[in-house]
Structure 1
Amino acid sequence: MSETDGAGDRAAGGTLAHRVPDLGALELLLAVARLGSLGAAAREVGITQPAASSRIRSMERQLGVALVDRSPRGSRLTDAGALVTDWARRVVEAAEAFDVGAQALRDRRDSRLRVAASMTIAEYLLPGWLLALRAQRPGTAVSLLAGNSAAVAERLLRDEADLGFVEGLTVPQGLDSTVIAHDRLIVVAAPAHPWARRGRRVVAQELAATPLILRERGSGTRQVLDAALGGLARPLIELSSTTAVKAAAVSGAGPAVLSELAVGEELAMRRLVSIPVEGVALRRDLRAVWPTGHRPAGPARDLLTLTRS
């Protein structure tokens, strides 16, 4: 029994991937058949002639038959090589069709991006990130769904969004995450509020016992505040957006706790004042989230990269 016959017997076991030559080897064989020269075929596929010879020998050992007769006048397919070339052509054509279909799937994925974000991130961070993404991917249509952190998780788990951003203390079940930024919550009130005019800090117990203008349950801001204080008094007013909470505080309705990202202009214009607080740290992580096991790809991956730059 010849060496190639023994190799063929050994190749009969194992998986199909072990028994069938890879696409690169099949493309090289097709180039040899078309050009009649191993050197010319090597140049066409972008490898050296020694590498091409080695690849052909490896394929012959794998299949257990001689494929190419080499001579000073060129390279000629054996009868077995001609038959294998016919099969190779069909495999390569099928692979090309597979590649076209896969590219169509990528194009469809890359043509849109659905983002779900909690309110603070949606209003104060995402606009800049999305402008930067548009410069990179002008052909991608982006839709933004804003809501509280619980709603963001629901949309991701129902496959209504490709990437989410949340502000809460914990990562909702079924989602993976990465921290993209840090944020600080501050207590604010209108300049006429008693807290704005007294000379001492508000202590944590007083803050917890005071009815505040609050976001609705499920919002990241409220989760962080509730956990930090160990409970909250009944809300003075409960509102569903950062903008609404801010407007109510500016009107003098009462104190509120908001992200410092949200109140920079109001503090600068003295429409709101920051109230010093002691005995509690109101810091939180801002996170990107996605369904467990489905790492962001395409435009979602690019947006995630932009949040860290």
Structure 2
Amino acid sequence: MSSSGEFEERSTPATTSASAGERRGEPYGADVKAQLHHRVPDLGALELLLAVARHGSLGAAAREVGITQPAASSRIRSMERQLGVALVDRSPRGSRLTDAGALVTDWARRIVEAAEAFDAGAQALRGRRDSRLRVAASMTIAEYLLPGWLIALRAERPDTAVSLQAGNSAVVAERLLANEADIGFVEGLAVPDGLDGVVVAHDRLAVVAAPTHPWARRRGPLDPAELAATPLVLRERGSGTRQVLDAALSAHGGLAQPLLELASTTAVKAAAVSGAGPAVLSELAIAEELASRRLVAIPVGGVQLRRDLRAVWPAGHRPTGPARDLLSLTRARPTG
């Protein structure tokens, strides 16, 4: 009974510890495995040991792995201390593996081969990821900025196939959150919910009208309240242009019922050029029409129509591969 009682007392802490590990969701023995990297040499040291075995010379092994001979000697000594056995006999005639060193070398070869297989598999995964890039962008960015960015990307990544989906800012956010795009570009006031982002460019909205419209003959700036009260040719709700305009005129009575509500910048521009009514468009989209006098810019006083253009991606998932490279290119080419 006494010996049994002693056995139970000695066993209880181990049983309790294992149960605690299980309660934390850790596999039995996780605490032992967690220390493995402290007891097993790193790949660089194992590759050096294999080179010593091939050449029979510490100096030649050091040259093969690209380090100095003193550094190689230090690394071998460190590995011997870590393992607690002598691995290499050094002499004026060269370096020879001890019996323990030969055994460790066999194990090292298997580890290095497994690491090489792991690396090859990881490269294959990266290659598959890097073979395509899915971009979603709001209409203005898709039409007037992305073509230049994608041409620059193709020069850096000629083998990456790029697909572009254009829509308003709300649609871009939906595609990113549904994993239907790798990176997105939006206009608007803020980063959409569920996404992270960074400003890559700036833009300004302009009030424009055909030369025949009465506003084209105004001598002074348009009052924000008059702009808000006038039915305009506008982009649909959910677009970055509409968000910025809604916010800018909210203190002036809010937007009147639109004269026309269209789903693309090109359609809004065409309606304004035809004389359907005044419109609000990105300055990026109307440079040619202003230069040819098919549209006239109408100054507006007392209201801020500047906006940020952002690259966005799912929160917590910073872009990698081609998406990361595209992001770098956009930030290297600021606009506005």
How far off its partner does 1:172 sit?
0.9
Q: Is the 8 A contact 1:180 1:307 kept in 2?
A: yes
**Pairs within 5 Å for 1:96-245:** 96-230=116-250, 231-245=254-268
- 2:50 corresponds to: 30
Judge conservation of contact 1:175–1:289 (CA < 8 Å) in 2: yes
Aligned residues with identical type, % of pairs:
85
Deviation at 1:301, TM superposition (A): 1.2
Q: How many residues align?
A: 298
Measured after TM superposition, the shift of residue 198 of structure 1 is 2.4
Runs of 4+ in 1 over 3 A off after TM superposition: none
Letter in 2 for 1:133: L
- Provide the C-alpha distance between the structure 1 equivalents of 2:73 and 2:34, rounded to a whole number of angstroms: 25
1:109 aligns to what SS in structure 2? helix
Letter aligned with residue 281 of structure 2: L
SS of aligned partner of 2:188:
coil
Q: Specify the SS of the correspondent of 2:284.
A: coil
Q: Does 2:79 align with 1:56?
A: no
Provide structure 2 residue ranges, at least 5 long, that are not aligned to the other structure: 1-31
Instruction: Give the Cα separation in 2 of the matches to 1:179 and 1:202.
Output: 30
Show structure 1 runs of 5+ residues with no match.
1-11
* Separation in structure 2 between the aligned mates of residue 154 and residue 63 of structure 1, nearest angstrom: 54
User: Greater helix share, 1 or 2?
Assistant: 2
Aligned to 2:5: none
| Structure 1 residue 151, shift from structure 2 partner | 0.6
- C-alpha separation between the residues in 2 aligned to 1:65 and 1:292? 49
- Relative to structure 1, the CA distance from residue 157 to residue 76 in structure 2 (aligned partners, 3 Å threshold; closer, same or farther) is same
Deviation at 1:174, TM superposition (A): 1.5
SS at the partner of 2:129? helix
TM-score (norm 2): 0.87
C-alpha distance in structure 2 between counterparts of 1:172 and 1:260, whole Å:
23
Matches of 1:15 and 1:263 in 2, distance apart?
Answer: 64
Provide the secondary structure at the position in 2 that maps to 1:132: helix
1:249 aligns with 2:269: no
Number of the residue aligned with 1:3: none
Please give the per-residue CA displacement for 1:219-247, whole angstroms capped at 9, x wherever unaligned.
00000000011021111100000000000
One-letter code aligned to 1:281 = Q
Is residue 13–residue 19 contact of structure 1 (8 Å, CA) maintained in 2?
no
Query: Structure 1: which amino acid aligns with 2:169?
Result: S
Distance 1:76 1:13 in 2: 32
1:306 aligns with 2:314: no
1:257 maps to a residue whose letter is: V
- TM-superposed deviation, 1:19: 1.4
CA RMSD of aligned residues (A): 1.1
For 2:161 and 2:34, locate their aligned partners in 1 and report how far apart those are by CA, in whole Å.
46
TM-score normalised by L of structure 1: 0.95
Cα 1:14/1:106, change in 2 over 3 Å: closer
| SS of structure 2 residue aligned to 1:150 | helix
Give the aligned partner of residue 85 of structure 1.
105
- For the 8 Å contact 1:114–1:160, the answer to whether it is kept is yes
Name the CA distance, whole Å, in 2 between partners of 1:36 and 1:215: 75
Question: How far has the Cα of 1:14 moved from its partner?
Answer: 5.7
User: Matches of 1:261 and 1:14 in 2, distance apart?
Assistant: 56
How far off is 1:24 after superposition?
0.3
